[in-house]
Structure 1
Amino acid sequence: MARLSRLEIIDPSEPTIVHVINRTVRRCFLMGDDPFTGQNFDHRKQWIEVLLERFAAHFGIELLCYSILSNHYHLILRTQPELVADWGDSEIARRWLMICPARMTNGEPAEPTDAELNAIRNDPERLAEIRCRLSDPSWWMRLLNQRIAQRANREDEESGKFWQDRFRAIRIEDEESLLACAAYVDLNQVRAGLAETIEESEFSSIHARIESEFGSSTVVSQAMDTSRDENQKRERSQRRDKFLSKLTIDERQDDLGICESDSPHRLSDKGFLPLTLSQYIELLEWTVEQSSADQKATTVRPPVALKQTGLSEHAWKTLVDGFAEVFTHVAARIETLESCRSRLTGRRFRITNEARQLVSAAA
C-alpha cells in the first residue's frame, strides 16, 4: 500500500504531536554493532543526539521523547506554530542560521553576523518560508537525516543512500495515546534486547531524564525515595535532559498556553504527561516486568497511572509493544479515529482491526 503524503496527516500551521520513525537503508546496522562486519557505529548515535539538542534549542518544535537504535530511531515531536508566528524577523533569521549556519566555530554554529541576518530579514519571501519551516516536522527530519547521512557517507567513503526514502509519521490525538507512545519509545531498547533496564537504555530520553534526576551511577528504585531533595538535583543548565520537553504537566495549576522557556536549550516549559517522573518510571518498570518470562510478575498490581488511562492491562501491553503497528496514521480513541480525515482528500484513514479492539475497550 502506498504511503500517504505527510501533508495529509500533519498541518504545519497547527499545533501537533507526532511520532516519527526513520530507518537506515535496507535496515542495515549503520548506527550500532554490525553483526556481519563486527564494526561498531555507536558514535553515530552521538551525532544524532548533538543535532537533536541543537534542533530543540532553535526550532519551533519540542522534543518530548527519543530513542536511537542500531538501524532506526524514534522521536516524539510537539510543534508550536503559534509561538513561531510571534517571533520577530530577527529571531526567525537567527534561529535558522543556528540550525543551518553560514559558519562554524570549533565545530559549533557561529553567531550570525548582521550581514547574514539581513540576507534573510530583507527578503520577505524567504523569511516567510523559513518561518513555516521552523514549525514543520518534515524540515526537522529532512535536516536531521541529511546531516547524518552526509557525515556517515564521508566516514564510509560511500555515496549511496543512508536512510530509507521517507520517514513514517503518526499523529497523536489524545493523552492516553501519547502516554502509550512515550512508553513505546522509551522502552524500545529494552524491547530490542539492547538494554536490560530503562536506566541502561543509552541514547534515549528516559536515560537522559534518569541520569539528570538521580545520577548516572544510581539505581533508580533506590534513588526515587530521595528525589524530593531539591538540593541534590543538578542545575538545569548542567542536566542531560535540558533540551527535552518537561515531562510533567499539572493541568490544574500550570499556566495555560505555551509557557515559553527562559532556557536557551528548549522551546517551552510545558509538560506533556499528567505524571511525575517517579510515577512514569514505575509504569515503565511494571511494563517491563509484565513482558518478562517470570510469570510471578503478572500478579503485581498495575500502577495507578495505568488505571487512569482506562486501558486494560492487555491493551496497554499490546500498545506499548507494537504502537507503530497498531496505529497507521493517527493514534487516538476509536471515536476520534473514525472522525479523522485526510487534510487533502477528505478520505478516512485506515484503522487496523487491532486498534479497533484495543482502543474501543478503553473506559
Structure 2
Amino acid sequence: MQKLAGIFALDIAAYAVMSNHYHVVLYIDAHTAKTWSDVEVIHRWQELFNTSKLAQRYIQGHTLDHGEMGKLKELIALWRERLMDISWFMRCLNESIARQANAEDNCTGRFWEGRFKSQALLDERALAACMAYVDLNPIRANMAKTPEDSDHTSIQQRIRAAISGEQPKSLLPFVGGERLNMPKGLPFQLDHYLELVDWSGRHRDLRKCGAIAENTPPILKRLGISPKHWLYLNQNFESRFKGLVGSAEAIRHACRQLDKRWVHGISDCRRYFSATPC
C-alpha cells in the first residue's frame, strides 16, 4: 500500500488492515502530479505496467518525429491522470493482493467479494471522523485493547514514530491548524489527534455523553462537533454515510460542481457534522 502510494500522486492519511478487509484514507495530490516531467511520468508508470515502444525510445534518447511525439504526449497525459486516480490505485493494490493470496492457496479465480467502496471527504470534520473510524477498527472489532497495540494500522505507526519525536515519512503528516503558506498535510495537531483517538476508543455508551464532555480533546471544539455526535460518527461512519461526506454546506457546494440535485445521507451530515450541544 505504501509502496504504491510512493508511485502514485496519492498520500495515505490513515489505514487499517484487518483479517478480511482493509480501510484506507487517501489524499489526491493533483498539484504534484502536474509538476512531474514527462520522463518522470514514464518511469513511474513503468514501475506498474509495461510502457509502449515509443516511451522506451524516448527515455533512451531517440529522436521521435512529430506524429510519434504527439502520440506519446497523449499516452503521457493518460498515464499522468491514472497516477492520481484512486480507482487505478485500488486496482493495482487489490490485484497484487489477489495474486499473492491465490498463489498461497494454489487456486485461481476471483478473490475479492466486490468492488471497493469510496467516500469523498469534503471538509475537516469528515476527514477527522473518517480517520478516527479507520484507526479504531481493530479496537471496535476487539482485536486490540489500545491504539498502540493495533497492528497494521496508521495510528500504531504514528505512535511509534511520535515516541522518537518524528512523523512517518510514508504517511501524510500532521501540520497543525490553518495558517498562511500552510504546507501539505493534515490540518490538525498530532498530539490532539492521538488524544482524540485514545479518548474515542474508551467510550461506547452514547448515553454517557454528559459525563465525558469535560475531557473532550481540543480538536473537537475547533471542528465544532459535539462529543455525543463524535462518538456516534466514530462507531458508525462507514455504515451511515455514502458518497459525499461533510457539512451540509460542503455537500451543496460539491453537488453544484458535480451537477447533482440530491445526495444520499445529507440529512445525517446536517445532523452529525453540526455543533449541536450534548
Per-residue CA deviations over 1:161-182 (Å, capped at 9, x if unaligned) read 1112211110011111111111
Alignment partner, residue 175 of structure 2:
248
Aligned-partner Cα distance in 2 for 1:306–1:292: 18
Q: How many Å apart are 1:339 and its aligned residue? A: 4.4
Maintained 8 Å contact 1:63/1:78: yes
Aligned-partner Cα distance in 2 for 1:296–1:81: 40
Q: How many Å apart are 1:352 and its aligned residue? A: 5.7
Listed as ranges, the gaps of 5+ residues in structure 2 are: 63-67
Aligned-partner Cα distance in 1 for 2:242–2:109: 29
Does 2:230 match 1:281? no
Alignment partner, residue 255 of structure 2:
341
Per-residue CA deviations over 1:291-328 (Å, capped at 9, x if unaligned) read 279x7994452122222221111110011111112211
Aligned-partner Cα distance in 2 for 1:288–1:197: 8
Alignment partner, residue 196 of structure 1:
145
Aligned-partner Cα distance in 2 for 1:315–1:344: 28
Does 2:127 match 1:170? no
| Matched position secondary structure for 1:166 | coil
Indicate how the Cα distance of structure 1 residues 352 and 84 shifts in structure 2: closer, same or farther if over 3 A, else same.
Answer: closer
Aligned-partner Cα distance in 1 for 2:149–2:209: 23
Indicate how the Cα distance of structure 1 residues 212 and 192 shifts in structure 2: closer, same or farther if over 3 A, else same.
Answer: same
Q: Give the share of equivalent positions with the same residue, in percent.
A: 32
| Matched position secondary structure for 2:233 | helix
Aligned-partner Cα distance in 2 for 1:313–1:334: 19
Aligned-partner Cα distance in 2 for 1:354–1:344: 20
| Residue of 290, 295, 298 corresponding to 2:203 | 290
| Matched position secondary structure for 1:155 | helix
Alignment partner, residue 76 of structure 1:
25
Aligned-partner Cα distance in 1 for 2:276–2:47: 44
Does 2:42 match 1:93? yes
Amino acid at match of 2:87: S
Maintained 8 Å contact 1:66/1:76: yes
Aligned-partner Cα distance in 2 for 1:296–1:354: 19
Indicate how the Cα distance of structure 1 residues 242 and 70 shifts in structure 2: closer, same or farther if over 3 A, else same.
Answer: same
Maintained 8 Å contact 1:290/1:298: no
Aligned-partner Cα distance in 1 for 2:134–2:78: 32
Amino acid at match of 1:280: Y
| Residue of 50, 59, 66 corresponding to 2:15 | 66
Amino acid at match of 1:249: G
Alignment partner, residue 88 of structure 2:
139
Aligned-partner Cα distance in 1 for 2:173–2:83: 20
Indicate how the Cα distance of structure 1 residues 273 and 345 shifts in structure 2: closer, same or farther if over 3 A, else same.
Answer: closer
Aligned-partner Cα distance in 1 for 2:159–2:113: 32
Per-residue CA deviations over 1:178-215 (Å, capped at 9, x if unaligned) read 1111111111111111111000011111111111221x
| Residue of 133, 147, 158 corresponding to 1:209 | 158
| Matched position secondary structure for 1:341 | helix
Listed as ranges, the gaps of 5+ residues in structure 1 are: 1-51, 103-112, 215-231, 260-269
Indicate how the Cα distance of structure 1 residues 337 and 297 shifts in structure 2: closer, same or farther if over 3 A, else same.
Answer: closer
| Residue of 169, 185, 196 corresponding to 1:271 | 185
Alignment partner, residue 99 of structure 2:
150
Alignment partner, residue 306 of structure 1:
220
Maintained 8 Å contact 1:65/1:75: yes
| Residue of 245, 252, 259 corresponding to 1:331 | 245
| Matched position secondary structure for 1:290 | coil
Q: How many Å apart are 1:342 and its aligned residue? A: 8.2
* Greater displacement, 203-212 / 53-62: 53-62
Amino acid at match of 1:245: L
More helix by share: 2
Taking structure 2 as the reference length, what is the TM-score of the superposition?
A: 0.84
Indicate how the Cα distance of structure 1 residues 344 and 316 shifts in structure 2: closer, same or farther if over 3 A, else same.
Answer: closer
Q: How many Å apart are 1:54 and its aligned residue? A: 1.2
Aligned-partner Cα distance in 2 for 1:332–1:246: 21
Amino acid at match of 2:9: G
Maintained 8 Å contact 2:125/2:273: no
* Greater displacement, 177-186 / 341-350: 341-350
Amino acid at match of 2:171: L
Per-residue CA deviations over 1:27-72 (Å, capped at 9, x if unaligned) read xxxxxxxxxxxxxxxxxxxxxxxxx221122211111111111111
